Amino acid sequence: MPHRSLRATVVLLLVILKKQPSSSAPLNGSKWTYVGPAGEKNWSKKYPSCGGLLQSPIDLHSDILQYDASLAPLQFQGYNVSVEKLLNLTNDGHSVRLNLNSDMYIQGLQPHHYRAEQLHLHWGNRNDPHGSEHTVSGKHFAAELHIVHYNSDLYPDFSTASDKSEGLAVLAVLIEIGSANPSYDKIFSHLQHVKYKGQQVLIPGFNIEELLPESPGEYYRYEGSLTTPPCYPTVLWTVFRNPVQISQEQLLALETALYFTHMDDPTPREMINNFRQVQKFDERLVYISFRQGEEGSEGRERQCATRCLFPTKETVSFGDWLSPLAAKEPEHIQEHWRMSYWSPPSVFSMFSRPWREVQTMTLKYMDQSAC
């Protein structure tokens, strides 16, 4: 299809979708919310599974982790969607949701194939940008992306699979603030078209795999639940170890663009803090595809730099709060300081955790072969 014709079709469909009436749906959001009388604390009254077993999200900490050598990298089939295939982006009253093509699926969750259904995000608010659902050793990330799949070998569709054994599989991507991410802009640039519940827009396809982090073969795996009502405990979770980065501006756009409510609601509510609290994780294990103690892709690079460089006593200046013994014992420096570095030999800009002042140290090689 010629580009001009495609562009005209997209514009026409955008106008049609935006003009769809929303007044027939109930006002003031959906039947469940994150706060208030229909909020998370009361979900179990209407949705019993929300107060049951195997609930998600959870905190991923060392006491519950067990290495499993059989966990192989996943294969993402059909994730590279042509720009000529239009995807439906919608505000569903709980998040921004992108409906995915039926020919997208993941392999590697033996013995079944899991077909993609949709993806959506969870986030906090502009004053407290810590809206991930899963946490790592108690740490919240800025946001979290979920790519939801259903077992297409056993069940005909997502609805049928959602409350069945081995029914669902969700990929979770932890998101932190950092560099701008053009791949996420392929969603975020359309948020203004789906500000209110029920609004939809068709957007050009793109490579969904670009939303995943580096080294996707490193992940956490456990059996859990949907993190929203009805909270069915039918989800095989894959939480990627390494986060992706988006810019502060991109995160702010996500935190401020959307509403839980319809356009004509007399009491509009901003779509913020749409994440469930961490759940109890009794008598379960989380299996990991990497060995504990090994750094992730970014951590290995940082560890290599700090291992191969050593501060010279002559160039170290210390604040009152840092012992001069650190000049002799580099592990103390690694413990008390946060570093940003360049290709050696170099000057490290080192910032104390209390952010009291900045110090500069000249470093030299200790053992280049260690890298």
**SS3 (DSSP) at 191:** helix
What is the helix (H) or strand (E) element at residue 80, kind and residue range?
none
Q: DSSP character for 140? A: P
Catalytic, out of 61, 94, 130, 332: 94
Four-residue CA torsion sign, 222, 227, 233, 235:
negative
**SS3 (DSSP) at 14:** helix
Neighbours of 321 (CB within 10 A): 11
Four-residue CA torsion sign, 108, 110, 111, 117:
negative
- Give residue 17's identity as a one-letter amino acid code: L
E-strand spans in 134-190? Answer: 135-136, 143-151, 168-177
3-class SS shares of the chain: helix, strand, coil, % to 5: 25, 30, 50
**SS3 (DSSP) at 8:** helix
**Any catalytic annotation for residue 94?**
yes
Annotated catalytic residues are 94
